[in-house]
Structure 1
């Protein structure tokens, strides 16, 4: 039956809020809104295909650190012999000084020298880059470009160099730039695999959640628009500042997950606004946007605020990753508040087209979740204590969590960087791939060299090399006794920095990782504190109730702690490693705590806003804490469950990806969402609402005077 039409004036009634009016405007200007979004998607989409080549893996550094200063000096004064230089490893079953091997070395040298991004190629030297057994040699291809560009140079050179292999001679490019090149390639393939797996699963969950193919397709439409727009934007931004490839990976995940979350909430509310009521289409859109739309806007603001705290870490990779997600969320929010209501208003009753036969069209209040709410109201201690106990038990392993920067094992064993790394270790010693670069003044070279030789943890020291440009700098290269990922290397570097003369700088690729880890250890408490504080303030702003805002913030910590507890058991202790197909490193990657905390907290607060916004709407209408709690579960429980199911499916598909970091990301985020939706939002937080009663919604008069008056009930 066709619903009665309402005039625009009737739809924009005096009780309609700002978002309601925006929704009605979008419906009335359907062609303008759609044309605008098509223009945005087409313009930015033209750049989107370049995203895998325009973005890089570089930027994992602690800006201002000694190691970054060493890299800059080496690039400028030592022919690019920096951490970003390419190492070309030639291994043979005969001496490398023989004519056949020497011919391969010459061809490799010519190949590298022909690339404009290579400053100079330093041939193998006895006692330094030719192994003791004479069967392995290293050519150094100096960096004549920034780190991102050197990764692209590795993209172009590693395969032609490997093609020189044959007749008992192996040629592999290795070093930090090649490692990032190989990781980007493996990561790209893994992300495509994950996307192919996640989209069909997502569509199936959406069809089951909505019961209609048309309704299920709307979240994917929204997500696609946000994905394409954010991908194109990142490519354009990469021309101004370096952008990590991880920015696109995370942006893609969040665009898919949050786009579906927001569309679920809006579409479910729109269908609920229409069923069994005489509302016109415009009125239904206005009510939907004034209630669910407001919750979505505040949820998106919470995500943006949480991720903005990551900007406190002075590392280009971290800032670009956070920026990439924030950009995707901004596009998703814009599409949710304009494009989605326009399409809903145009579809009207046709949103239920192609419905599954057992689905009751427009059903909004779930009898099942209403019954669960009544049971939880009757027994809050029983269920709340059980949920709390499970979360605390899972969070307990966090006490023994160790972190470090990723080792070479994060890339597949057949890649160029790893093969070259292994060859260098076998020929030159365990610590050779992590050779330290010590910069000092020329007049101190002999004294500093002698001091380094006498230091514990150093296997060998090469003669100091004076800068040819007369700058007064000298570089001393020292081979540590341990693998670059061994914690003992950090102690060796700390000792050198403490004992060597003032002004002497210690760097190298492995030390850049150590400096970044140190920076993260310093900044993590600050980021966590800022995220918690901003999350609480935003909830207080939205809900106008200090107690429930505080409880909602604290509850979000529980699922975060439990997720990291599971991460320790899986990735540090190796439980389930065979099932997931990885070799445990004995630690969690060092960037995970600070970044994953912000992401998990953002998602947790996303669900908190959905649940508590619905509870506040019911409390505003009834003034009854029982109706607020049970009504919130009845109206948002199914949406939260469906949204969580989609997020878990998306994140867990990343756990099937090849490299280790996507596995960490998928498991940690997937477990966090699963625990947060199942235990925190659907059990613990409602139980806290039950126990706090009217006090949950109490707001002192002085606070009400400060905060703007935000309501979630329409009209």
Structure 2
């Protein structure tokens, strides 16, 4: 790489003005933290997620002012047996008194007793919009807890959209805290194994953690454009720790390598900037380009993830190019202090690429056989992905440890009318609301035995619009939600509106929104794949000036993604791993996971790919034969790749232990993909392909004529 490149200029300035560079970095992080404190992060609102026919229904209902008021439900049961009506009535009276006194409550309805006599519910209507209700739901939860405290013999529990969301956010916060507690010491331990010295191990972890904090701060004002859909903090920690450590690791390892070769500190920093620094920039841009593919999905949750990830990757790249050279220049040889004697001697004894050199030897000797065996292994792991099922997340994918989830399940079990609700809205162009059509629909739907009408709820009308609520008697699962929705949209509603000319109708509601959202993600996936693969292919062709390298990169990316999807299918659509990972198999993959994983895996796999190919190209440009260049590039980069992969796998595996199903699936998918990518793909498949292609792999680059090995090390490598 050119010693006159931008990365070298930045590194030289940072190395010769270390205190300024360190001060500017601390100022950057401080400003970001200040932004996080001063600017509240915006969350997505209900209207942000409207899509398809359910979005059309929500818009029609909003325009007519016919939205259901936000509400909560208090469920009273007896955990020891039949419900004592007298005790329950006393508790309900106290509940009604406390709830009515709250400013946030608009109305407390009459108690509704279950037909089985085992439960009673108290419906509560809240003032304002859903967003206002979300801000006040804690007051209702506190009132419910007070009544529960006074009636220990009863189970008095609250649930509803707002309290359920609050419980989910609480679980997310708990998961995030757990991930932080586990990922930091694990990452530091792995860095200690990689370097054998405390300071060298601490620098990548410190820079990665500061990049995560800075990214969350800078995202706060951006959330006004791309509101947080609920996963930003988890994704920033997940990706930020992985790439932040990787980038620092690439740079630090190369700088130490050049110092061992006799270069001074500043010269070693410049060489690291010209080589590893360039690879960091390319891989960072690759991740950013890949994540930009999420914008193609036109989904607010994906847009927030993409924005936050782009920010954290950009900050991590900036830190590795600025403050890291400053720290290395200031510390000099002290970066390898204090040494951990056993680990230090172990690293020195193994040497760079000691293990990978032995693994690589048979691959280079028999490239065709190695390629065939490894390709069969990857394909075998990817085959289960052909049977992958994707569905939106729901009650059955939420952790049972969330109290509101259990309460909602009990509520639906005792009160069928509290199950999956659908809003059927009709609007007549310039006429009376289509009450007759909705009345016919209600009779047909209830008569089919598949739906019930909620007690006490009538057809709501305003102007030229009318709305009917129907509740499916099916269990609250994604498959049943889709079946019920298809029955409404496919036959019942069209039949009822067949004679209502000039009428627009749509079926919406929360469950319909989930089905429509999942379908939209499946529809957008081909466009996202084309966008990401197309741009990364062009970027790799431009970076390495080779069409073959670009095509090989695309092929290997698809191999890693296929293996990831296959592993997800094996783990989460079956039951064998439930005890191991502490979850109940939903029988499907949450619908947004495959799209997100594809995008992020293409980006992350470029980390190793660019770094490894960069070392191989250096050897090719030195005049080594393709086989010797592959051997030299792989062995010299293997230690860094192994350490970086170990960090990523460990961080991702931590997320597999969390409570939220989405985080488990994301953690397992990423951990498996990175493990396969850094081992089977980079040590077997990539070398065997490059050896078989020979010098054609780098066409149309003008390569120097192959020379015979000159140094003792090169002759030793060539003899292997």
Q: TM-score, normalised by structure 1?
A: 0.88
Q: CA–CA distance in 2 between the matches of 1:334 and 1:574? A: 44
- Kindly indicate whether residue 10 of structure 2 is the aligned counterpart of residue 22 of structure 1: yes
Moved more, 55-64 or 289-298: 55-64
2:26 corresponds to: 38
Quick one: which of 383, 388, 393 aligns to 2:375? 388
Quick one: which of 489, 492, 503 aligns to 1:497? 489
SS of the residue 1:137 aligns to: strand
Moved more, 372-381 or 253-262: 372-381
Relative to 1, partners in 2 of residues 1:315 and 1:321: Cα closer, same or farther, differing over 3 Å?
same
Quick one: which of 328, 331, 335 aligns to 1:347? 331
Moved more, 692-701 or 655-664: 692-701
Relative to 1, partners in 2 of residues 1:65 and 1:169: Cα closer, same or farther, differing over 3 Å?
farther
- Kindly indicate whether residue 668 of structure 2 is the aligned counterpart of residue 680 of structure 1: no
Q: CA–CA distance in 2 between the matches of 1:360 and 1:66? A: 61
2:393 corresponds to: 406
Aligned pairs for 1:466-545 (under 5 A) are 470-498=462-490, 499-500=493-494, 501=497, 502-545=503-546
Deviation at 1:460, TM superposition (A): 1.0
SS of the residue 2:657 aligns to: coil
SS of the residue 1:20 aligns to: helix
Give the gaps of 5 or more residues in structure 1.
1-12, 702-715
Quick one: which of 98, 107, 117 aligns to 1:121? 107
Q: CA–CA distance in 1 between the matches of 2:339 and 2:571? A: 41
- Kindly indicate whether residue 256 of structure 2 is the aligned counterpart of residue 255 of structure 1: no
Deviation at 1:216, TM superposition (A): 0.8
Quick one: which of 260, 264, 275 aligns to 1:291? 275
Relative to 1, partners in 2 of residues 1:123 and 1:681: Cα closer, same or farther, differing over 3 Å?
same
1:397 corresponds to: 384
1:454 corresponds to: 444
SS of the residue 2:475 aligns to: coil
2:434 corresponds to: 444
Whether contact under 8 Å (2:100, 2:108) holds in the other structure is no
Aligned pairs for 1:47-66 (under 5 A) are 48=36, 54=41, 56=43, 62-66=49-53
Relative to 1, partners in 2 of residues 1:577 and 1:80: Cα closer, same or farther, differing over 3 Å?
same
Whether contact under 8 Å (2:615, 2:637) holds in the other structure is yes
Whether contact under 8 Å (1:266, 1:289) holds in the other structure is yes
1:691 corresponds to: 692
1:707 corresponds to: none
Measured against aligned partners, the alpha-carbon deviations of 1:666-688 in whole angstroms (never above 9, x if no partner) come to 11111111111111011111111
Q: CA–CA distance in 2 between the matches of 1:518 and 1:300? A: 31
1:4 corresponds to: none
Q: CA–CA distance in 2 between the matches of 1:167 and 1:97? A: 11
Deviation at 1:464, TM superposition (A): 6.4
Deviation at 1:572, TM superposition (A): 0.8
Q: CA–CA distance in 1 between the matches of 2:401 and 2:504? A: 41
1:103 corresponds to: 93
Whether contact under 8 Å (2:645, 2:675) holds in the other structure is yes
Relative to 1, partners in 2 of residues 1:675 and 1:60: Cα closer, same or farther, differing over 3 Å?
farther
SS of the residue 1:622 aligns to: coil
2:652 corresponds to: 651
- Kindly indicate whether residue 337 of structure 2 is the aligned counterpart of residue 334 of structure 1: no
Deviation at 1:354, TM superposition (A): 1.4
Q: CA–CA distance in 1 between the matches of 2:554 and 2:657? A: 31
Aligned pairs for 1:546-565 (under 5 A) are 546-565=547-566
Q: CA–CA distance in 2 between the matches of 1:516 and 1:204? A: 41
- Kindly indicate whether residue 256 of structure 2 is the aligned counterpart of residue 271 of structure 1: yes
Relative to 1, partners in 2 of residues 1:155 and 1:361: Cα closer, same or farther, differing over 3 Å?
farther
Moved more, 359-368 or 594-603: 359-368
2:717 corresponds to: none
Measured against aligned partners, the alpha-carbon deviations of 1:182-207 in whole angstroms (never above 9, x if no partner) come to 12211221222222122222111111
Relative to 1, partners in 2 of residues 1:515 and 1:25: Cα closer, same or farther, differing over 3 Å?
same
Deviation at 1:62, TM superposition (A): 4.4
Measured against aligned partners, the alpha-carbon deviations of 1:456-510 in whole angstroms (never above 9, x if no partner) come to 5732124764657x44432211111212324132133233234433522211111
2:711 corresponds to: none
Deviation at 1:167, TM superposition (A): 5.2
Q: CA–CA distance in 1 between the matches of 2:88 and 2:654? A: 50
Deviation at 1:517, TM superposition (A): 0.7
Relative to 1, partners in 2 of residues 1:169 and 1:531: Cα closer, same or farther, differing over 3 Å?
same
Q: TM-score, normalised by structure 2?
A: 0.87
- Kindly indicate whether residue 417 of structure 2 is the aligned counterpart of residue 434 of structure 1: no
Deviation at 1:106, TM superposition (A): 1.4
1:568 corresponds to: 569
RMSD in angstroms over aligned alpha carbons? 2.9
Whether contact under 8 Å (1:432, 1:479) holds in the other structure is yes
Measured against aligned partners, the alpha-carbon deviations of 1:243-294 in whole angstroms (never above 9, x if no partner) come to 13311101111110111111111001001111132x3322221111111000
Measured against aligned partners, the alpha-carbon deviations of 1:312-355 in whole angstroms (never above 9, x if no partner) come to 12221111112111111111111111111111111111111112
Q: CA–CA distance in 2 between the matches of 1:360 and 1:310? A: 41
Deviation at 1:99, TM superposition (A): 4.9
Deviation at 1:181, TM superposition (A): 1.8
Relative to 1, partners in 2 of residues 1:57 and 1:175: Cα closer, same or farther, differing over 3 Å?
farther
Measured against aligned partners, the alpha-carbon deviations of 1:617-671 in whole angstroms (never above 9, x if no partner) come to 2212225212321111111111111111111111111111122222111111111
